[in-house]
């Protein structure tokens, strides 16, 4: 009998807590089962030749879930269909456990004559097993390292070792699913985090290296950035001073203006008289014949040489247009 029960313990370890045995032969036993797994409750050493009653008693009102007499068992209540009583081992098995299976139970045994031979109470807890853990690390400002260990599961508990030696850290931050530990500056080695609850345990490890000097690195980077910004600003100011002011496309084009220059009538007549006098001195006469008329060209002024004639001049002012180019 004991050998079989010991085998169940071994199977529970192999299946990572999905099968959970509990010895409930002592009054007040506390038993744990994996959520969605199988729990084995040993109520009696051997039920052959005995009568057994097992019920759920959350508030004092009995909800019968098992009756066994004359070596025949009957399951009832909310666990019916996913439970079985193994008579020759005195073990009550519950499969596919759910949260509502967590409760207070009571078991009574009777001898062959129907006399009460024992009564025991037990508490059953159904919990989710912890899953594979994950590690994450972060370097802090003074060279310390913050390492976090996380896992899914109910009521996890954490323990740390560095190169096989337990770590005691007053800065630990415990939570329902995560735990963090701060490693002092310069620590390195093989770091292990073990997470366990009442169903199973998992361990994860990593090799850590010392954090770099964060403050010195950050200060150097900021100083370099500041120096680059100063140089860029200086170059910008120099270029801005050297660069000529921008002009619009309208200003770049050359405007041409025509200025109306008026020559007074008196000045024109004076020049005409001077030209006539000079032409008179250059008259050419043909001997032995009537006076000939010849055309003389003087500069841009044309006149006929011959009898003295009046040169008509415009009575109105003449207009001359001068092209004036305005620069930038």
Q: How far apart are CA 311 and CA 297, in angstroms?
A: 15
- Confidence band (pLDDT; 50, 70, 90) for 217? low
* β pairing state of 29-34 and 116-127: parallel
Cβ atoms 133, 203 nearer than 8 A: yes
Ramachandran category for residue 91: left, alpha or beta (phi over 0 → left; psi -120 to 50 → alpha)? beta
Which top CATH class is 134-208? Answer: mainly beta
Supply the pLDDT for residue 35: 95
Supply the pLDDT for residue 328: 41
pTM over 0.85: no
Cβ atoms 52, 41 nearer than 8 A: no
Provide the token pair at 286: 């043909």
- Mean per-residue pLDDT, 303-316: 46
For the chain, residues classed under CATH 2.60.40.10 are 2-127, 134-208
Supply the pLDDT for residue 83: 94
Q: How far apart are CA 128 and CA 151, in angstroms?
A: 11
Nearest to 205 by CA among 260, 167, 174: 167
Q: Does domain 2-127 have CATH number 3.30.365.10?
A: no
Task: Give the rounded distance of the alpha carbon of 193 from its chain centre.
Answer: 27
Supply the pLDDT for residue 218: 57
- Can you count the helices (H) and strands (E) in the chain? 4, 22
- Mean per-residue pLDDT, 263-273: 58
Supply the pLDDT for residue 60: 72
Q: How far apart are CA 185 and CA 188, in angstroms?
A: 9
Provide the token pair at 92: 């009550």
């Amino acid at each position: 009998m004991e050998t079989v029960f010991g085998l169940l313990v071994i199977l529970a370890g192999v299946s990572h807590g999905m099968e959970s045995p509990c010895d409930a032969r002592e009054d007040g036993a506390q038993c744990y089962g994996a959520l969605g797994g199988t729990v084995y409750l040993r109520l009696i050493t051997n039920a052959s030749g005995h009568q057994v009653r097992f019920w759920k008693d959350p508030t004092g009102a009995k909800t019968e879930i098992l009756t066994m007499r004359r070596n025949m068992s009957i399951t009832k209540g909310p666990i019916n269909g996913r439970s079985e009583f193994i008579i020759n081992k005195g073990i009550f098995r519950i499969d596919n456990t759910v949260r509502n299976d967590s409760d207070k139970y009571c078991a009574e045994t009777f001898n062959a004559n129907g006399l009460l031979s024992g009564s025991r109470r037990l508490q059953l807890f159904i919990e989710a097993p912890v899953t594979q853990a994950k590690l994450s690390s972060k370097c802090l400002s003074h060279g310390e390292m913050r390492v976090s260990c996380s896992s899914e599961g109910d009521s996890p508990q954490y323990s740390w070792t560095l190169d096989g030696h337990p770590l005691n850290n007053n800065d630990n931050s415990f939570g329902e699913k995560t735990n963090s530990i701060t490693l002092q500056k310069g620590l390195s080695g093989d770091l292990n985090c073990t997470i366990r609850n009442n169903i199973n345990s998992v361990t994860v490890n990593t090799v850590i290296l010392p954090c770099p000097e964060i403050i010195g690195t950050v200060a150097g980077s900021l100083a370099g950035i500041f120096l680059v910004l100063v140089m860029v600003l200086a170059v910008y100011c120099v270029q801005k001073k050297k660069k000529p002011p921008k002009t619009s496309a309208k200003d770049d084009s050359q405007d041409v203006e025509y200025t109306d220059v008026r020559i007074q009538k008196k000045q024109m007549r004076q020049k005409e008289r001077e030209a006539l006098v000079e032409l008179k001195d250059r008259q050419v006469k043909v001997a032995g014949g009537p006076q000939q008329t010849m055309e003389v060209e003087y500069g841009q002024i044309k006149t006929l040489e011959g009898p003295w004639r009046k040169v008509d001049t415009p009575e109105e002012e003449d207009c001359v247009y001068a092209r004036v180019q305005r620069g930038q």
